[in-house]
Amino acid sequence: MNTLGPIVRSVAALVLLSGTTLGTVSALAKDIPLVPGAPAIHEKPVLDAPQLLLWTRNGTPAAADLTDPTSNELFDLHGDLNTSVCSNVDLVLSTEGNYHMALHSLWQQVVLPRYGADISNWYYTTSPPVSLPETLHDNFSIENLYLHCRPSVAVASMRVIKKLEAAHQTEGKPIPIIKGRGNTLLVKYGNPKHIDSVWDLGRPDVRLVTPNPYNEPGAFLNYAATIYDIAAHDPNPPKGWTADQLFNAIFNSDVKDKWLYGARIHHRDEPWSVAYGRADVAVIMYQLGEYTVKVFPSTFTLVPLGGTVNDPKPLPGNLVGESYLVKIKGPWTHRQLVARQDLIKAYESNAFTRILEDDGLTRP
């Protein structure tokens, strides 16, 4: 465990790229969600975004828009599939992207081979939680591609599911389908800053990137609460330090670029920031960190927050997330209802259980 520097507490500058196509992001610290039990955050994070040419967009973003310069750019594909074609789309799934690698395997190894006769026209979106606006407005966009079909299934955290239920968009009870294995730290290959625990995140020389607290409040709360709660449960904290002091040293600091955040899609933004931006470390879900290192083995290293990299055993306070599947109300055709039921069977299958285990996940 490294020795921590002094706590610093004044105002950090918010840096926003001019001309961004992501829309205006509120810079008010009061808009940042509160972590239960932790000090209030009164400083503003610094946007860490790539220096790309931000071309003019041809059209108005949909209510559920996934344009993100670190992830999704479709400048040269233009299209608008309106609701008149949606009756011919067998299945639309709106899901969080925290298990995108397992979902790809599920689709290619289970859904299409078993149910391809029922599901021939389909698409799914893996994203921050856009299920509610996508459902309420029957639209979705990435740059110049617009899709106006209503999802018949959503997969998300219970926080998002409750919003769908409150808007009277669901039918039936949510089905628990995926359980995580806690969070981990993603650092540059070889861990040059010698970051060994959450306490090192408070050092003045360590810059942390988090999910966008305005656009991805659920993911931000997950990671910020993990930092605070692990520190609060630590029976042997560094001498003179508390969880409150650590939290303030990270989120209420006057160290330049101490707290960074990504533009929109944290499982893409955070690795970009650590690899090529200004960040030294990110807190990230174990399965996403494992996948990132697998894809870029010479760029990243994982630091476990309990157990080992290959056998995570989350420390007390390391939040373990769960995802739920819920049916969405709609004027579905018989074929669409059959396709939806096929998808649910695929999610509940033993084959998907094995896929989850291979990708660092498990069942509730």
Report pLDDT for 294: 95
* Amino acid present at 60: T
pLDDT, one tens digit per residue, over 44-55 is 899 887 666 556
Domain with CATH 3.40.190.10 in the chain: 29-53+182-303, 79-179+323-358
What number is the average pLDDT over the span 119-127? 91
- The secondary structure of 169-194, three-state, reads CEEEEEEEEEECCCEEEEEECCCCCC
Looking at every residue in the chain, the average pLDDT score rounds to 88
Structure tokens at 203: 């050092």
Does 92 have pLDDT greater than 80?
yes
**Contact call for residues 89 and 122 (beta carbons, < 8 A):** yes
**Contact call for residues 83 and 45 (beta carbons, < 8 A):** no
Reported as a pLDDT band with limits 50, 70 and 90, residue 56 is low
Report pLDDT for 72: 67
Does 91 have pLDDT greater than 60?
yes
What number is the average pLDDT over the span 271-291? 96
Alpha carbon distance 212, 194 (integer Å):
25
Angle between helices 243-251 and 217-233 (to 10 degrees): 140
174 φ, ψ to 5°? -65, 145
CATH number of 29-53+182-303: 3.40.190.10
The closest alpha carbon to 286, from 101, 110, 157, 131, belongs to 101
The closest alpha carbon to 266, from 214, 225, 313, belongs to 214
What number is the average pLDDT over the span 271-286? 96
Q: What is the pTM of this model?
A: 0.84
Report pLDDT for 52: 63
Higher pLDDT, 55 or 303: 303
Give the CATH number of domain 79-179+323-358; options: 3.40.190.10, 3.30.70.1560, 1.10.10.10, 3.50.50.60. Answer: 3.40.190.10
Higher pLDDT, 17 or 123: 123
